[in-house]
Homo-oligomer: A and B are copies of this chain.
Amino acid sequence: MNPRIVEVRKDILKKNDVAAAALRRRFDATGLIVTSLVSSPGAGKTAFLERTLSMARARHRVAALVGDLATECDAERLRRSGVPVRQITTGTVCHLDAEMIERALGELTLADLDWLFIENVGNLVCPASYDLGEHRRAVLLSVTEGEDKPLKYPTIFNTADVAIVTKIDLAAAVDFDRDAVLRNIDSVRPGLDVLEVSAKTGEGLDRWLALLEQPVSDRTVESTA
């Protein structure tokens, strides 16, 4: 890659890390737990988040930010769950960054929230490099995408705290090879938690909610160390 863009990229990433660390301190100050979702386009982030918000709001004060290049479609869908949702439209930018999150938080009173979810732009590459101040990053992979994706997009799996295999209801229709995908995830990121879910049937969502109830520690410790 062009040496100048490498230099500017490093600079941008450093600035983003600073902004992300400031966000994380803000979240930690009120005990707000932030979870981000990343995946390729069409892996089912929005459907999964819609179910998550509907279930989570029974016991927690929840909100969501959702990123896309264009349209307000996802925010409109997610608002049906009855929680506050803000759309971030990035234009041609292929990922969310910490400053976009800060701006989108706007007048939300963080102290009134327990959980915040951030749905990134659909992209398995670029979002890997941008810390958003989140405590937990979930990478989603649908059964229709092919079992080789963890090997082909290792960075995103390396920056995630949990992998979520979506559309598990379609597993038989696409001859999904469960052992292969688990083996491939484990080879790029040994020991990573993997959940299998279907936003359509609800399968696996209880395990996901249970995981969300677990205390977060690693990222918080890192950022405040």
Contacts and interface: CB of A to CB of B under 8 A. Distances in A.
Task: State the oligomeric state as a number of copies.
Answer: 2
Nearest to A100: B1
A124 B41 contact: yes
Interface residues of A, number: 44
A73 B151 contact: yes
A149 to B, nearest CB: 6
Contacts of A5: 8-9, 12
A70 interface: yes
A125 B95 CA distance: 9
Interface of A: 1-2, 4-5, 8-9, 11-12, 15, 40-43, 68-71, 73, 92-94, 121-126, 128-129, 142, 144-146, 148-149, 151-155, 167, 170, 173-174
Contacts of A69: 125, 152-155
A154 B41 contact: no
A68 to B, nearest CB: 5
A123 B94 contact: yes
25 contacts: A2-B15, A8-B8, A41-B149, A42-B142, A42-B146, A69-B125, A69-B152, A69-B153, A69-B154, A69-B155, A71-B148, A71-B151, A73-B148, A73-B151, A92-B125, A92-B128, A94-B94, A94-B125, A94-B126, A121-B125, A123-B125, A126-B126, A144-B170, A170-B173, A170-B174
Contact of A70 (B42, B121, B142, B154): B154
Nearest 5 interchain pairs by C-beta: A42-B145, A94-B125, A144-B144, A40-B41, A173-B173
B42 A144 contact: yes
A97 to B, nearest CB: 9
B71 A41 contact: no
